[in-house]
Amino acid sequence: MKITLQQTGQWLAADIQTPISLFLGLVGTGQGFLLESAEVDGRRGRYSVIGFNLLLRLGCKNGKLEVASRDNRLNQLKEYEGMDFIEGARKVMDAIHIEPQGDMKELPAIARGMFGYFGYTTIGMFEKKLEEVLPPENSDACLMLPGTIVLFDHLYNKLCMLNLADNLPVKMDRAAVERTPEAPSIGEVTTIPDKTSYIRNVQKVQEQLRQGEAIQVVLSTRFQASFEGDPFILYRRLRQINPSPYMFFMRLSHITLIGSSPETMVRCQNNVVEVCPIAGTRPRGASDAEDAELAEDLLADPKERAEHVMLVDLGRNDVGRIAEAGTVSVEKFMQVEKFSHVMHLTSYVKAQLMKGHDALDVLGATFPAGTVSGAPKIRAIEIIGETEAVSRGAYAGTIGWLGLDKDSVNLDTGILIRTMWVKDNTVQWQCGAGIVHDSVPEKEWEECQNKGRVLKVTLNATGEADVFTGR
């Protein structure tokens, strides 16, 4: 099957607009997404992307593909409905050919892709050995093909409005842009498990580690509170409080995802694969001197260094499964990268993609990241399933885009950490710590609290924190 969609576009000046004002005016409270990026030093990434007028939505129900189409040209894709989700999604992506017109051909691959997320619960669909602990029936994933994409170029203060059909509604609601947002109503934050239970879980896992069952296991804590209001205000706060490489707001019918993640899941640009393990954490200092002292302490900590080296090796092994022989390399090894509330040790692993693999193969070979599971990965995930009291849901999954170009493989996905999700009038988020045999349980609990603090700050922000459409 081959379905060709012509993509037309128009360049417009954007010197009086921002991604926030455009999302408010064009998408409002409808389904759609906003993806943004900030470099480690705080500078904005070149592009922000807004997607709406969803022509196609691929959902996962009981591990099987659901196909919802709003375009007659795509209706024939429903013949793949009911297949295993991964294989069905692969057939859909193989069938769709986007043909950009005119100078739209020069745009980056993100302009021609499917967007969405894979929850942690989808691991069992990629790795059959984990079907028992993470059954496909519980999987949560969604991929979307937006009929309209707004590609906002921060370098030249202009935007490109891209369409896959001629009759799509594109109207700017200026009243929605100018309306003063109402603060949401948020209840008391509770955790699952509590501190006592978490420490007991750490001790239980440490006994398993001493018996040689694994080297490291990442145990997480769930934070949650009742929520009433527009979740987009949380994103507006979070992007200012905690600018990160993967910032996103994705509103769907069944869930809204809000996040500012520091960590790449996996990236592939013109067949070059990259993963960026992050392991080793310290809070930011109150002054430059304290900040430098904490960074020096982090680099000198033997536990943090050993954990980081282990996860770099795990990243190399994951990438090696889909790489051309001899092309795996480590760049920028163990450097300190600083974010708003914490600093991390980070490395970059790259390789040339082996011919015959596609974007879903790249994702499957590396998912989930060792930084949110542990090592060896299979047994660590089994121990997590045996120990954690609640399903991780979206937490530790991945979000981003998978390219549809047929002449090269392109994708860019971030890990769903520093992420909130709103569902059934509840806001939730989750944070984890890597447990090894000599971990101090109380310190691992404190690490979870440090990582979750930025999201608590976001919930509690008031006043001027809600007024920043200029960023």
Q: Looking at 191, 264, 371, 458, which residue is catalytic? A: 371
Q: Looking at 259, 370, 434, 452, which residue is catalytic? A: 434
Q: Looking at 88, 124, 395, 403, which residue is catalytic? A: 395
Q: What's at 313, amino acid-wise?
A: D
Q: What's at 345, amino acid-wise?
A: L
Q: CB of 23 within 8 A of CB of 181?
A: no
Q: Looking at 418, 419, 432, 452, which residue is catalytic? A: 418
> What is the rounded CA–CA span in Å between residue 382 and residue 288?
42
Confirm whether 395 is a catalytic residue.
Answer: yes
Count how many residues are written for the chain: 471
What value does the CA radius of gyration of the chain take, rounded to a whole number of Å? 22
Q: Looking at 44, 90, 267, 344, which residue is catalytic? A: 344
Backbone angles phi, psi at 227, to 5 degrees: -145, 130
Confirm whether 210 is a catalytic residue.
Answer: no
> What is the rounded CA–CA span in Å between residue 307 and residue 325?
26
| Long-range contacts at 128-134 (CB < 8 A, ≥ 24 apart) | 129/378, 130/378, 130/381, 130/382, 133/381, 133/382, 133/385, 133/386, 134/381, 134/385
Confirm whether 453 is a catalytic residue.
Answer: no
Confirm whether 344 is a catalytic residue.
Answer: yes
Q: 343 - beta bridge partners?
A: 282, 338
Confirm whether 434 is a catalytic residue.
Answer: yes
Q: 61 - beta bridge partners?
A: 64
> What is the rounded CA–CA span in Å between residue 462 and residue 333?
39
Q: How many CB atoms lie within 10 A of CB 84?
A: 14
Nearest in space to 384 (alpha carbons), one of 138, 140, 189, 120: 120
> What is the rounded CA–CA span in Å between residue 234 and residue 65?
31
Q: Which residues are catalytic?
A: 344, 371, 395, 418, 434
